[in-house]
């Protein structure tokens, strides 16, 4: 028998975090703990209103499945136990952690993945005025990869000022569905002009057919349009890459399957995250050997991360310690 513990946690952000849809000042997460009396596994998820998930909904879904969870379950059982993808993520990752502790082997070995190595993560610049983002870029100009939150009037000026103030940083952009088919061609040209390598989700999910007909010099990556394997076919012909987030796929298990299938279909891989602590980043980091772009900077944006946490040397991210997860 297992013992399930469900907790709600709030982690203040250092300042605020703004994207095209709005701002937030904290990471609001749900954690799952599974204990067999000897070993304990942990998982973390971020219920995201954009996907019609809330913290109370996720906690209620986990509580409703308590009896079946505590009877014991496999990774294959997770989608039938809890419906929201965030709840599935926390449960799946807690089980991986528990299995690793029971067997005394790291999760990457159990999952048949390459051994993770230190890797550079993107560092996100929150959406703000062009001048403020330019100033933020100057402060972050020593970081090798910057992710720019765009999607509002003035994006061309933002790009120009950021590039001027961070001339040596690689740039990727996340428009968070904030552009339109009408301004998309000009925005992609503006991105190419300053050397942006990738643009995430420029158009609203469900209204992105224009991408099939637009020539571009910049890689376009699906985020809000892409969830699990069932969404993959719809990405082909519109997107060049896919952002895999465990809170969208429903855990590490389906994320691995999605990454392998995406590679087979010729899509580049970005491994991303919601705003969360190192516990939420740790399972996703195992996908980093398959990814061209890594965006797991959630802990860097918090006032304080959990202890123990993932070690960051600037933007260089190290594999999670076993005392944290996996």
Catalytic positions are 149, 245
Round to whole Å and give the CA distance between 7 and 296: 22
Q: Of 159, 160, 157, give the one whose Cα is nearest residue 174.
A: 159
User: Which residue in the block uniquely carries the two structure tokens 């995430």?
Assistant: 200
Task: Read off the tokens for 85.
Answer: 């993808």
SS3 assignment for the chain: CCEEEEEEEEEEEEEEEEECCEEEEEEEEEEEEEECCCCEEEEEECCCHHHCCCHHHHHHHHHHCHHHHHHCCCHHHHHHHCCCHHHHHHHHHHHHHHHHHHHCCCHHHHCCCCCCCCEECCEEECCCCHHHHHHHHHHCCCCCEEEEECCCCCHHHHHHHHHHHCCCCEEEEECCCCCCCCCHHHHHHHHHHCCEEEEECCCCCCCCHHHHHCCCCCEEEECCCCCCHHHHHHHECCECEEEECHHHHCCHHHHHHHHHHHHHCCCEEEECCCCCCHHHHHHHHCCHHHCCEECCCHHHHECCCCCCCCCEECCEECCCCCCCCC
């Amino acid at each position: 028998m297992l013992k399930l513990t469900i907790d709600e946690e709030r982690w203040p952000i250092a300042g605020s975090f703004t994207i095209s849809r709005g701002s937030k000042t904290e990471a609001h997460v749900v954690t799952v703990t599974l204990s067999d009396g000897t070993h304990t596994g942990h998982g973390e998820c971020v219920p995201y209103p954009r996907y019609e998930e809330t913290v109370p909904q996720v906690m209620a879904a986990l509580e409703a499945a308590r009896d079946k969870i505590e009877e014991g379950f496999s990774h294959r059982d997770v989608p039938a136990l809890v419906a929201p993808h965030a709840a599935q993520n926390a449960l799946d990752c807690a089980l991986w952690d528990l299995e690793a502790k029971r067997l005394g082997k790291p999760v990457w070995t159990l999952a048949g993945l390459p051994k993770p190595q230190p890797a550079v993560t993107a560092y996100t610049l929150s959406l703000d005025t062009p001048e403020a983002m330019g100033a933020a870029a100057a402060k972050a100009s020593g970081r090798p990869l910057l992710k720019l939150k765009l999607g509002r009037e003035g994006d061309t000026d933002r790009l120009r000022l950021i590039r001027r103030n961070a001339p040596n940083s690689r740039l990727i952009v996340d428009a968070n569905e904030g552009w339109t088919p009408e301004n998309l061609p000009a925005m992609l040209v503006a991105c190419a002009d300053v050397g942006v390598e990738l643009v995430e989700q420029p158009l609203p999910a469900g209204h992105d057919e224009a991408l099939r007909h637009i020539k571009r010099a910049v890689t376009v990556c699906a985020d809000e349009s892409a969830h699990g394997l069932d969404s993959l076919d719809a990405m082909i012909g519109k997107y060049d890459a896919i952002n895999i987030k465990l809170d969208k796929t429903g855990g590490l298990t389906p994320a691995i399957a999605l990454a392998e299938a995406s590679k087979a279909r010729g899509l580049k891989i970005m491994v991303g995250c919601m705003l969360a602590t190192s516990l939420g980043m740790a399972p996703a980091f195992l996908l980093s050997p398959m990814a061209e772009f890594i965006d797991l900077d959630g802990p860097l944006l918090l006032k304080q991360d959990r202890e123990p946490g993932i070690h960051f040397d600037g933007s260089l991210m190290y594999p999670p310690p076993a005392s944290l997860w996996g």
